[in-house]
Amino acid sequence: MTNDPIINDRAQLLLKTLIERYIQDGQPVGSRILSRESGMNLSPATVRNVMADLEDMGLVKAPHTSAGRVPTVRGYRLFVDNLLTVRPLRGSLIERFRDELYRIDDPEALIDRASNLLSSMTRMAGLVMLPRPGAVQLRHIEFLPLSDNRVLVILVVNDQQVQNRIIHTERSYTSSELQQAANYLNSEFAGHDLEGIRSQVLKHMEEIRDDMHQIMQLAVQMADEVIQTSQSADYVVHGETNLMSYAEMGDMDRMRQLFEALKTKQDILHILDKSIHAEGMQIFIGEESGYAAFGECSVVTSPYKMQDEVVGVLGVIGPTRMAYDQVIPVVDVTAKLLGSLLTSE
Amino acid sequence: MTNDPIINDRAQLLLKTLIERYIQDGQPVGSRILSRESGMNLSPATVRNVMADLEDMGLVKAPHTSAGRVPTVRGYRLFVDNLLTVRPLRGSLIERFRDELYRIDDPEALIDRASNLLSSMTRMAGLVMLPRPGAVQLRHIEFLPLSDNRVLVILVVNDQQVQNRIIHTERSYTSSELQQAANYLNSEFAGHDLEGIRSQVLKHMEEIRDDMHQIMQLAVQMADEVIQTSQSADYVVHGETNLMSYAEMGDMDRMRQLFEALKTKQDILHILDKSIHAEGMQIFIGEESGYAAFGECSVVTSPYKMQDEVVGVLGVIGPTRMAYDQVIPVVDVTAKLLGSLLTSE
DNA sequence: CTTGGCACTCTATGCTGACGAGTGCTAACC
DNA sequence: GGTTAGCACTCGTCAGCATAGAGTGCCAAG
C-alpha cells in the first residue's frame, strides 16, 4: 500500500466536490463547474492548477486533453477513506427496512428478503452470504432404508435446519436395524456438537458388535458430509439485472464477465471472505478486489452478527461510480437489522 | 392460425437459401448472393421478382429500401415447419453426450448436467424443467417439537425426496404426543398416495379424541403444502450469459428483460408448460411465445419421458437467428438420453 | 416467364469546418 | 507567494456534404 498523498484542505474539498459531481451525472468535471460548485470562491484558473496537482498524484485523470477530470481508483479510495460524509438514514426509511424484514421467521426467507432489500434500495445488486453455522448441534437423526443398498439419512441440526443425503452401503439394512442405530445416536448425542460426536462415535465403536459397527460408520460418514456442506459458503444475489442499466457497463463483454462471476460464485465468495474477518464495513473499488471481472465495479460489504459473533457478510455490488454516501448506511443498517433479527429467533 | 401461403418449389428453395444464409452471417441477403447460392441458375433479376412475392406474403422483409431481405417470423415458421433439413447428429457426438451424462445417479445432478450440456453444445442457454412427480407417495413422516409452539415436520415422499416445513400450532405438544401422531400416520398410511391420505385423515378424525385431532389437522395441513410445492414446477438454466454475445441482443434493455424473465421463471414456465402436452418437439419463434421479453428469441423444446410417461420439458433459448438444423437434433438427443437415464434408475 | 439494363433509394464512410468545453501557461495583481 | 484574467491550443462532437456500394423496382426486349 502506498501511503495517502499529502494534499491540503482546499485540494481535498475540490476532489470531494469533483467526485460527488461525477457520481451524480457521470460526466467528466471541468474547472468551471468545480469553481462554481465548491463554494470556495475560486476562479476556474486556480482550480485548474489544483487539478494539475491532483492529476500528478494520480487521484484524477482526464479522458482526453480537453475534457474535465474523472476520479481514478486511487481518487475514489481517498474519497471513501477520508472525505466521505455519510448522512445517517432517515428514521422513516429505517422503519421501512424494519417493516420489510419484520416477522419473517424462516432464516432463509429472511436472508432472501435482505438481499432483495439491498438491491431495491440501492438499485444495484444485493448479496447476502449465508450465515456459517458456528457449532452444528445434532438435534435428531433418522435413517430410512431405500432400495439397492441405499440409506436415506435425515438430520436435523440447530433446531430447524434439515439436511438429507443418500448413502450407499455395503449390505442392506432392515428398518429396525436402522431404527436402532438412530435411537442410539439420538438418545446418546442429541444436543451435542456434531464434530464432537464424530470422535466419540469412533471411540464407542470398539465396544459395539460388528454390524452395528457399520451403521455407526455411516453415521460418522454422514456427520462428515454435513459438516462439510455447512461449511462450504454460499450467498444469495438479487437484482443483478439492475447492473445492466448502468452506462459504464455498456460493454457486453464486461457485463458478461461480471454475470459469469456472479454465477460461478467463486470470485465473489473470495471477496466476501476477505471482509468477514474485517471489523466493520469494507469497500473494494474497481480492480482492487483483484479480479478483472470487477473492473468499473465496486463492492461495499459489512459483516453481520448473530449473538455477538460474526456469521456472514452482506453487501452490494455496483458501478465504481456509485453513491457511496447513500449505499454505506443502507448496507450498514441492513447488516445490523439482519443480525438482530437472526439473533432474536 | 393463418394457413401457410402457397408458394412454389422455386420460391421455397430461395426462401430456404435465404434463411440459411441469414442464419450464417446475420446480414440481409441480396438478390445477387441468392442467385449465386441457390444453385438454380437464376439471374438476380428473377430472384428479385420472387423476393417481391415473398415480401407480399410476409415471409421476408427488407430493413430498408436498398438492403437485402431478412426473414420475418412467418418466414422462419414456414422454414422450420416445411423447409428445414435436419441432419442427424454424428455418432461420435452422441457418444460424447452419453459420456457426459453417464454414471450420474443423482437425478438432480443429472438434470443439472443435461442443462449444461444443452448450453455448451448450442452455445446458447439450456434449460431443463424438473420432472413433475406423478403420484406423491408418503413414505415416512416425522414431527419434532421446537420452541414457541412450532413443530418441524419432516416428510419423505417417493423414496428419496425430503420435504420439511415449520408449522405454528395453537398449543405446544410434547415429543411423545407428536411421536404418537407420527406413528399413527406412518403405520396407517406409508406407501399411500398423499392426496388420498388427506381425505382419509379427515374421515378418521371423528373417531379420534380431541388433542390428537389437532395433530391430524397439522398433518393434513402439511400434506396440503407438500402437494402444492411438489406440483409447482421449476427449471434449471445454464449458460444464460452465452446470450450476451449475440449481436441482435445489443440492446441492453432487451437483454435485461430477458434475464429478468429467466430469473422470475414465470413466463418461461408458461412456455415450457405449453409444450409439455405437445407430442414432440416444439419451436417458439420470436413473439410467438406471447411474451415481449422474447422478442428476437426462439425457444426450442422437447418433452422427455420417464417410463413412457412425459414428466418434463427441456430445451434451449437463443436468438431467432439460430442454427435450427443443429439445435433441433441436440435437443432431441438430450431429451431421449435424459429420459432413458432417468428411467433406468 | 426470364433477363439485362437503368434509374433510384438508402446506408455507410470519410472529410470538412464550426463550435464548445476545457486545458496549460504566462503575466499581472494583491 | 498565492491568485487570477487572458489567451492560445487541443480535442471531441456534430452537422453538412460528397462518394461509393449495395440492392431494389420497373421496363422492355428476348
pLDDT digits 0-9 by tens, B250-288:
677 888 899 999 999 999 999 999 888 888 899 999 888
**In total, how many domains does chain A have?**
3
Listed in sequence order, the DSSP H helices in A138-293 are 175-189, 194-204, 210-231, 252-264, 266-276
Residue A59 is predicted with a pLDDT of: 93
Q: For residues B282 and B302, is the Cβ–Cβ distance under 8 A? A: yes
Pick the last residue of a domain from B60, B83, B106: B83
Question: Is residue A1 domain-resident?
Answer: no
* Amino acid (one-letter) located at B319: P
Question: Is residue A4 domain-resident?
Answer: no
Residue B206 is predicted with a pLDDT of: 63
B154 dihedral zone (left: phi>0; alpha: psi -120 to 50; beta): beta
- A74: closest CA among A328, A302, A317, A320? A320
| Distance of alpha carbon A133 from the chain centroid | 15
Question: Is residue A49 domain-resident?
Answer: yes
CA-nearest residue of chain B to A154?
B162
Same domain, B144 and B209: yes
Same domain, B259 and B337: yes
Q: Is A205 on the interface with B (CB under 8 A)?
A: no
Count how many pairs of residues, chain A against chain B, have C-beta atoms within 8 Å: 68
Domain with residue A202: its CATH number is: 3.30.390
Same domain, B187 and B201: yes
Place of cell 429478468: B260
Same domain, A167 and A28: no
Nearest residue (Cα to C1') for C4? B45
Residue B132 is predicted with a pLDDT of: 75
Query: Strand C positions with any atom < 7 Å from protein CB?
Result: 2-5, 8-11, 20-26
As given in the structure block, the three cell numbers for residue B84 are 428445414
A156, A157, A163, A245: which to substitute to probe chain B, counting the most B Cβ within 10 Å? A156
Q: Which of residues 208-267 of A touch B (CB under 8 A)?
A: 240-241, 244-245, 249-250, 252-253, 255-256, 259-260, 263
Same domain, B204 and B216: yes
Report the pLDDT averaged over residues B325-342.
Answer: 94
CB atoms within 10 A of CB B85: 7
Pick the last residue of a domain from B164, B197, B231: B231
Q: Compute the distance between CA of residue A269 and CA of residue A132 in angstroms, rounded to an integer.
A: 13
Residue A1 is predicted with a pLDDT of: 47
Q: For residues B338 and B111, is the Cβ–Cβ distance under 8 A? A: yes
- B75: closest CA among B9, B4, B124, B8? B4
Report the pLDDT averaged over residues B79-103.
Answer: 90
- A17: closest CA among A64, A66, A63, A50? A50
Same domain, B208 and B335: no
pLDDT digit string (tens) for chain A, length 345 residues: 445 666 788 899 999 999 999 998 889 999 999 998 888 888 899 999 999 999 999 999 998 888 889 999 999 999 999 999 998 888 889 999 999 898 887 788 899 999 999 999 999 999 999 887 666 778 888 887 777 777 778 888 776 677 777 777 777 788 787 787 788 778 888 888 777 777 777 677 666 656 566 666 666 666 666 666 666 788 999 999 999 888 776 677 888 899 999 999 999 999 999 888 888 899 999 888 888 888 889 999 999 998 888 999 999 999 999 999 999 999 999 999 999 998 876
Stronger pLDDT, B20 or A227, i.e. the higher one = B20
Same domain, B115 and B72: no
B115, B123, B152: which to substitute to probe chain A, counting the most A Cβ within 10 Å? B152
**Structural domain span for residue B77:** 9-83
| Distance of alpha carbon B170 from the chain centroid | 42
Residue A199 is predicted with a pLDDT of: 74
A110, A137, A152: which to substitute to probe chain B, counting the most B Cβ within 10 Å? A152
Same domain, A144 and A221: yes
Burial of B62 (0-12, 13-18, 19+ CB in 10 A): middle
Of A140, A245, A256, the CB nearest to B144: A140
Q: Compute the distance between CA of residue A337 and CA of residue A60 in angstroms, rounded to an integer.
A: 37
Tell me the three state secondary structure of residue B335: helix
B24-37: pLDDT as tens digits: 988 999 999 999 88
Report the pLDDT averaged over residues B99-115.
Answer: 87
Pick the last residue of a domain from B54, B83, B112: B83
Same domain, B119 and B264: yes
Question: Is residue A75 domain-resident?
Answer: yes
Of A162, A241, A256, the CB nearest to B164: A162
Q: CA B155 – C1' D17 distance (Å)?
A: 78
Residue A144 is predicted with a pLDDT of: 79
As given in the structure block, the three cell numbers for residue B283 are 419451436
Same domain, B219 and B166: yes
Judge whether residue A45 contacts strand D, using its CB and a 7 Å cut-off. yes
Residue B147 is predicted with a pLDDT of: 74
Same domain, A161 and A204: yes
Domain with residue A122: its CATH number is: 3.30.450.40
Tell me the pTM.
0.84
- B270: closest CA among B311, B309, B299? B299
Cβ neighbours of residue A193 under 8 Å, at least 6 residues apart? A135, A136, A137, A138
Question: Is residue B159 domain-resident?
Answer: yes
Of A144, A241, A252, the CB nearest to B244: A252
B179-219: pLDDT as tens digits: 877 887 788 888 887 777 777 776 776 666 565 666 666 66
Same domain, A237 and A323: yes
Question: Is residue B3 domain-resident?
Answer: no
Domain with residue A30: its CATH number is: 1.10.10.10
Q: Which of residues 83-122 of B touch A (CB under 8 A)?
A: 106
| pLDDT value at B161 more than 60 | yes
Question: Is residue A3 domain-resident?
Answer: no
Question: Is residue B181 domain-resident?
Answer: yes
